Amino acid sequence: MAESQLRSANQVSGTRARRSSRREFGARAPLERLVSVGSPIVLLIAWEIAARLHWIDVRILPAPTVVVATIIDLFRNADLAGDTWATIERFLMGMAVGTIPGVFVGLTMGLFRWVGIVLNPIFALFYNVPRIALFPLVLILVGLNDTSNILMIALGPFFTMLITSMGAVMNVEPIYRDVARNFNARPRHLYLMVTLPAITPALMDGLRLSVGLGLLGTIAVEFLVADNGLGHLIWNSWQVLSLKQSMAGLVVAAVVGWFFYGSLALLERVVMPWQRRTTFV
């Protein structure tokens, strides 16, 4: 009975919010969308002009047209597609391994006081250790393989989502949980139907940070031990002073990060239609 009442209330509020969001999105000024699309184009044009007029050293920072030509050449004559997919695969696996446990542990530490008291000092100890310093320990425990790479990538998203979710739970008004308990809600209802919807805005912010940290961890791991991926391409190209290829790998990595960041922005409009904010996409 409690579950059906809670679900019904969530559905009604969600439907109203989606309708309001669609009206607001349709009424958004065209100038705002034009500026959002045009600002990166203006930056690329300025970069191209500076390169052609030799205001910058094109040996170090090639023009955008040169970088695009290099990317096309690498896709045709090298394995840039394979390197890109290897990076995306490691990134997605690291994000999944890091964010899902991070949210669950953070929820638990926020909901149950003694769990937080026991685990908080332990996680605080490891959180303040630089991620790269943990790599030798991970290699000893797991070995030099893809598992160790995924674990290193997952550390950033894990701690980000843990701290975000725990802090968000502690800021939820206690009256929400009290009302749920008055309806005889079970612990899983507190997780899924009360606490999780209440902290969704904070979780989306945490996911945005996790995307950047996850991609940073992926490229860093590929710098160190991987034999493929965009990080491997960037590092090897830099070592032989092939800066065009290095810049091409950097641009493709930036596009990958932009794609996942933009996907989160679209997901946010679906799960939080009442939320309207300025984003990077």
Q: Percent of the chain, pLDDT > 90?
A: 22
Give mean pLDDT, residues 153-159.
92
For residue 46, which amino acid is it?
A
Q: How far is residue 56's CA from residue 205's CA, in Å, rounded to a whole number? A: 36
Q: What would the 3-class secondary structure string for 72-126 be?
A: HHHHHHCCHHHHHHHHHHHHHHHHHHHHHHHHHHHHHHHHCHHHHHHHHHHHHHH
- Domains of the chain, residue spans: 2-28+79-271
Which of the four pLDDT bands, split at 50, 70 and 90, describes residue 12?
very low
Phi-psi category of 241—alpha, beta or left, where left has phi over 0 and alpha has psi -120 to 50?
left
Q: How far is residue 264's CA from residue 71's CA, in Å, rounded to a whole number? A: 26
Which of the four pLDDT bands, split at 50, 70 and 90, describes residue 4?
low
Q: Is the pLDDT of residue 262 over 80?
A: yes
Q: How far is residue 26's CA from residue 23's CA, in Å, rounded to a whole number? A: 5
Residue 170's nearest CA partner among 99, 112, 114, 115 is 112
Neighbours of 50 (CB within 10 A): 14
- Tell me, what's the pLDDT at 279? 53
Which of the four pLDDT bands, split at 50, 70 and 90, describes residue 124?
confident
- Tell me, what's the pLDDT at 158? 94
Residue 113 makes CB contacts below 8 A (sequence gap 6+) with: none
Q: How far is residue 169's CA from residue 116's CA, in Å, rounded to a whole number? A: 12
Neighbours of 125 (CB within 10 A): 9
Q: How far is residue 154's CA from residue 61's CA, in Å, rounded to a whole number? A: 32
- Computed over every residue of the chain, the mean pLDDT equals 81
Give mean pLDDT, residues 178-206.
79
The highest-level CATH class for domain 2-28+79-271 is mainly alpha
Q: What tens digit of pLDDT does each residue of 159-174 get?
A: 999 999 998 888 888 7
Q: What tens digit of pLDDT does each residue of 20-50 get?
A: 555 554 445 577 777 777 788 888 889 889 8
Q: Which residue has the higher pLDDT, 280 or 92?
A: 92
